[in-house]
């Protein structure tokens, strides 16, 4: 078994690499997104107009959000711990001879307990965010800004994809701080790293000043906090993903209703 200091060092290496990659990608994307003339501008224009550009982007996002944590889990020499990622098993006695009835019952009881926490936090988070969303829409309408906020037309599958990407990413950022600092401080330390990554993204900073983009970004930040709180109670990534998707889908469904019907 590797020494604790070696595990910590390996964990921080994977984590800092992911953070550096995100910062470089965000700033390079911002740099090339600005209007430019000459060969660089022409190349970027052609790349964006390429028919497979959206698929390429999603493939690269998949490699980053899911591929990097998965690679660290497989080849990180215990730098990433599956349990601390929240990969909780669901025992099925009929499919496993090694699982006793008592152990399976205890596992199901733990899941039922955790589902209760997820439901309570999810309903509470949705209620608070829906109230803020409704007030924000009223404020936009009062100043004649009637356009839909960014993300209001997202499909359920797109919301599920984004929930999976971000929950796995956040769990990965929590892992090493939890190993070093313990569960409580590690969770909030991981959240601080997520906040740092966002703050160093120029597109994210500009989006906060955009009335159409700010709500979705603030929603993502709120869900990161809720995810951390749920992980503190359950240590279950699957339930965090379900909560994230459910709250996002509920708010998108609410935003599609005419303002007069959302009282």
CB 77 within 8 A of CB 10: yes
Question: Among candidates 247, 26, 239, 60, which has minimal Cα distance to 151?
Answer: 247
Write the pLDDT tens digit of every residue in 103-121: 777 778 889 999 999 999 9
Q: What b/e readout covers 177-206, taking b as 16+ CB neighbours within 10 angstroms?
A: bbbeeeeeebbebbbebbeebbeebeebee
Structural domain that includes position 22: 4-79+117-261
Predicted confidence at residue 129, as pLDDT, reads: 93
Predicted confidence at residue 234, as pLDDT, reads: 94
Q: Is residue 100 part of a domain?
A: no
Which class for 68: exposed (0-12), middle (13-18), buried (19 or more C-beta within 10 A)? Answer: buried
> What pTM, to 2 d.p., does this model score?
0.87
Domains contained in the chain, number: 1
Q: Is residue 99 part of a domain?
A: no
Question: Among candidates 205, 204, 249, 242, which has minimal Cα distance to 226?
Answer: 242
Predicted confidence at residue 29, as pLDDT, reads: 85
User: How far apart, in whole angstroms, are the C-alpha atoms of residue 39 and residue 54?
Assistant: 22
Predicted confidence at residue 67, as pLDDT, reads: 94
Question: In Å, how far are 1, 84, 120, 242 from 106, measured between CA atoms?
Answer: 29, 20, 21, 22
Predicted confidence at residue 261, as pLDDT, reads: 47
Q: Is residue 93 part of a domain?
A: no
Mean pLDDT by 10-residue block, N- to C-terminus, for the chain (263 residues)? 61 91 91 72 71 86 94 78 81 59 78 95 95 82 66 85 96 92 94 96 91 87 96 95 95 76 46
Both tokens of residue 218?
């603030």
CB 230 within 8 A of CB 243: yes
């Amino acid at each position: 078994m590797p020494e604790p200091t070696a595990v910590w060092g390996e964990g921080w290496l994977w984590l800092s690499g992911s953070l550096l990659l995100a910062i470089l990608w965000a700033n390079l994307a911002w740099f090339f997104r600005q209007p430019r003339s000459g060969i660089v501008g022409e190349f970027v224009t052609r790349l964006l107009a390429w028919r497979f550009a959206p698929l390429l982007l999603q493939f690269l996002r998949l490699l980053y959000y899911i591929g990097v944590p998965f690679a660290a889990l497989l080849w990180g020499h215990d730098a990433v711990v599956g349990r601390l990622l929240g990969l909780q098993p669901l025992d099925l006695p009929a499919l496993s001879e090694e699982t006793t009835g008592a152990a399976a019952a205890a596992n199901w009881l733990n899941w039922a307990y955790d589902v209760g926490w997820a439901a309570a936090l999810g309903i509470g988070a949705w209620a608070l965010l829906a109230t803020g969303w409704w007030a924000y829409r009223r404020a936009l309408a009062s100043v004649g800004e009637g356009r839909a906020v960014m993300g209001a037309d997202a499909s359920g599958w797109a919301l599920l994809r984004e929930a999976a990407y971000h929950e796995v990413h956040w769990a990965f950022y929590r892992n090493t701080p939890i190993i070093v600092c313990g569960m409580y401080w590690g969770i909030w330390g991981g959240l601080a790293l997520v906040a740092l990554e966002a703050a160093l993204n120029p597109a994210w900073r500009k989006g906060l000043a955009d009335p159409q983009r700010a709500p979705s970004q603030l929603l993502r930040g709120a869900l990161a906090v809720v995810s951390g709180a749920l992980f503190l109670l359950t240590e279950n990534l699957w339930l965090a993903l379900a909560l994230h998707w459910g709250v996002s889908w509920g708010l998108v469904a609410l935003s599609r209703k005419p303002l007069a019907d959302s009282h």
